[in-house]
């Protein structure tokens, strides 16, 4: 069949014009070449396709059948060419992005809003997943692009930094003022954990691993609401002081779930600083961490850039760390082993220009 494609094109042109001479002019080939092509096609099919008349040619019954099907085939080819041209000229196409809920809300949306306004013909699909699942979707070729916090990048992928984020600990003034009321008791002497589940929130209580010797406890009974943070020590209007290490160990520390890239980063920091929390509340959403901190549920690990509105309004305050948590990057990741589509290239170039 494929070797006859040119013969079919000649046949279709002759049948459409009803004249070999006119077909030769349109195709820029000689009349004998057209006659030979048709003869070869008829010989291969074992039928006569044209009846020759003094006015030109007309299709036989078999020729009519072939003409209808060839016409449909050429219409499909023309349609495909038109769609490809539109993708190239107008930017029509589809972009499938994998991203976590937090990164989508606080980073990706700002880029998408302007990009969609400028490229209304592009269909954008968002699949919200963890970094691990996003990488799996990329490997399975189910998405074109991922937006992730930098991690160990598997072979075969390209990572392009987009922005930088800073992990911090936040809480509310009221929680700090009354921390002595919320300090957790030791629930075991053998480092066993007691797990509690509540919807998407998981909490566990463990043995206090920190030494109590030499550490002062906060007595905020008479504290006012004007607590301030000074260095790594919390000062109220009393003479009592509570170090940042004490706060993180004695408070209800709210973190993202384990196996999350951000949680792994925070756990590494706490371990390196010798900080062992008594009580940890696990949540699967950073926006909830920010909200919980603002209503006085505890101390939360959040990304500063995601909590700016709450920080600037005073709903939460940032705890100053003696050693800041190492900053991280957020960037796009895509397969290095296949050609990037026109739409993907366009989106990456757009984001880089902002």
pLDDT value, residue 230: 46
Question: What are the tokens at 88?
Answer: 């190239």
Q: Any idea where the domains of the chain sit in the sequence? A: 2-89, 91-164+330-353, 168-326
What is the CATH class of 168-326? Answer: alpha beta
Q: What distances in angstroms separate CA 39 from CA 8, 47, 247, 250, one per listed residue?
A: 12, 10, 92, 93
**Residue 251's pLDDT is what?**
94
Dist CA 330 CA 308 (whole Å):
17
- Please, which residues have CB within 8 angstroms of residue 267's CB and are 6 or more apart in sequence? 255, 258
SS3 95: strand
User: What pLDDT score was predicted for residue 53?
Assistant: 82
CATH of domain 2-89: 1.10.10.10
pLDDT at 82: 84
pLDDT of residue 121: 85
At 134, give phi and psi (nearest 5°). Answer: -65, -45
Do 91-164+330-353 and 168-326 fold alike per CATH?
A: yes
Positive/negative CA dihedral, 185, 190, 191, 196: negative
- pLDDT by 10s per residue, the chain, length 354: 556 789 999 999 999 999 999 999 999 999 999 999 999 999 999 999 999 887 889 999 999 999 999 999 999 998 988 878 876 665 678 999 999 999 999 999 999 999 999 988 889 999 999 999 999 999 999 999 999 998 999 999 999 999 999 999 999 999 998 887 655 443 333 344 333 333 344 444 343 433 333 333 333 333 333 334 444 445 443 334 789 999 999 999 999 999 899 999 999 999 999 999 999 999 999 999 999 999 999 999 999 999 999 999 999 999 999 999 999 999 999 999 888 888 899 999 999 998
Burial class of residue 180 (count of CB atoms within 10 Å of its CB; 0-12, 13-18, 19+): middle
Here the tokens at position 51 are: 């009846």
In sequence order, which residues have a C-beta less than 8 Å from that of residue 169 and are 6 or more positions away?
Answer: 248, 299, 300, 301, 302, 318, 319, 321
What pLDDT score does 233 carry? 46
Domain 91-164+330-353 indexed as CATH 2.30.30.110 = no
Q: Which pLDDT does position 182 carry in this prediction?
A: 55
Please report the DSSP string for 158-200 in residue order: EEEEEEEE-EEEEE-HHHHHTHHHHPPPP--SS---EEEEETT
E-assigned strand segments in the chain:
50-53, 56-59, 93-99, 122-128, 145-149, 157-165, 167-171, 194-198, 201-205, 228-230, 233-235, 241-243, 252-256, 279-283, 299-303, 317-318, 328-335
Give residues with Cβ within 8 angstroms of 260, minimum separation 6. Answer: 130, 131
Q: What's the pLDDT at 129?
A: 92
């Amino acid at each position: 069949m494929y070797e006859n494609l040119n013969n079919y094109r000649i046949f279709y042109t002759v049948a459409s014009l009803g004249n070999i001479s006119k077909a030769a002019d349109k195709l820029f080939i000689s009349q004998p070449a057209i006659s030979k092509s048709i003869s070869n096609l008829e010989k291969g099919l074992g039928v006569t396709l044209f009846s020759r008349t003094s006015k030109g040619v007309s299709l036989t019954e078999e020729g009519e059948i072939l003409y209808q099907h060839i016409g449909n085939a050429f219409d499909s080819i023309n349609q495909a060419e038109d769609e490809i041209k539109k993708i190239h000229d107008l930017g029509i196409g589809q972009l499938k992005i994998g991203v976590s809920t937090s990164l989508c809300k606080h980073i990706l949306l700002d880029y998408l809003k302007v990009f969609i306004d400028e490229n209304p013909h592009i269909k954008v699909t968002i699949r919200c997943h963890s970094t691990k699942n996003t990488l799996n979707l990329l490997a399975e070729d189910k998405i074109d692009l991922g937006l992730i916090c930098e991690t160990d990048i598997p072979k075969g992928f390209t990572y392009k930094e987009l922005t930088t984020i800073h992990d911090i600990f936040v809480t509310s003034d009221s929680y700090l003022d009354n921390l002595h009321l919320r300090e957790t008791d030791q629930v075991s002497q053998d480092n066993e954990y007691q797990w509690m589940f509540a919807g998407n929130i998981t909490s566990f209580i463990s043995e206090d691993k920190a030494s109590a010797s030499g550490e002062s406890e906060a007595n905020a009974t008479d504290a006012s609401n004007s607590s301030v943070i000074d260095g790594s020590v919390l000062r109220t209007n009393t003479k009592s002081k509570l170090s940042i290490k004490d706060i993180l160990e004695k408070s209800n520390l709210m973190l993202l779930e384990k196996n999350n890239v951000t949680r792994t980063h925070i756990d590494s920091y706490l371990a390196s600083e010798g900080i062992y929390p008594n009580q940890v509340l696990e949540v699967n959403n950073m926006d909830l961490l920010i909200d919980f901190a603002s209503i006085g549920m505890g101390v939360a690990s959040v990304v500063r850039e995601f909590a700016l509105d709450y920080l600037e309004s005073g709903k939460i305050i940032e705890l100053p760390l003696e050693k800041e948590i190492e900053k991280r990057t957020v960037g796009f990741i895509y397969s290095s082993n296949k050609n990037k589509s026109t739409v993907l290239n366009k989106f990456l170039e757009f984001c880089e220009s902002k």
